[in-house]
Chains A and B, each alone.
Chain A
Amino acid sequence: KNQVEQSPQSLIILEGKNCTLQCNYTVSPFSNLRWYKQDTGRGPVSLTIMTFSENTKSNGRYTATLDADTKQSSLHITASQLSDSASYICVVSTTTSGTYKYIFGTGTRLKVLA
Chain B
Amino acid sequence: DGGITQSPKYLFRKEGQNVTLSCEQNLNHDAMYWYRQDPGQGLRLIYYSQIVNDFQKGDIAEGYSVSREKKESFPLTVTSAQKNPTAFYLCASSPRDSTIVTQHFGDGTRLSIL
Q: Which residues in B have their C-beta under 8 angstroms from that of A31?
A: 99
Number of interchain pairs (Cβ within 8 Å): 50
Number of chain A residues whose Cβ lies closer than 8 Å to a Cβ of chain B: 23
Residues of B within 8 A of A106 (CB): 40-42
Do A104 and B102 touch (CB < 8 A)? Answer: no
Question: What chain A residues lie within 8 Å of B100 (beta carbons)?
Answer: 32, 49, 51
Q: Closest approach, in angstroms, between the C-beta of A8 and any C-beta of chain B?
A: 14
Contact B90 A100 (CB under 8 A): no
- Which of B41, B45, B104, B107 meets A42, CB within 8 Å? B107
User: Residues of A with Cβ closer than 8 Å to B?
Assistant: 4, 31-32, 34, 36, 41-46, 49, 51, 89, 99-107
- Which residues of B are interface residues toward A (Cβ below 8 A)? 4, 6, 35, 40-45, 56, 90, 92, 97-100, 102-108, 110
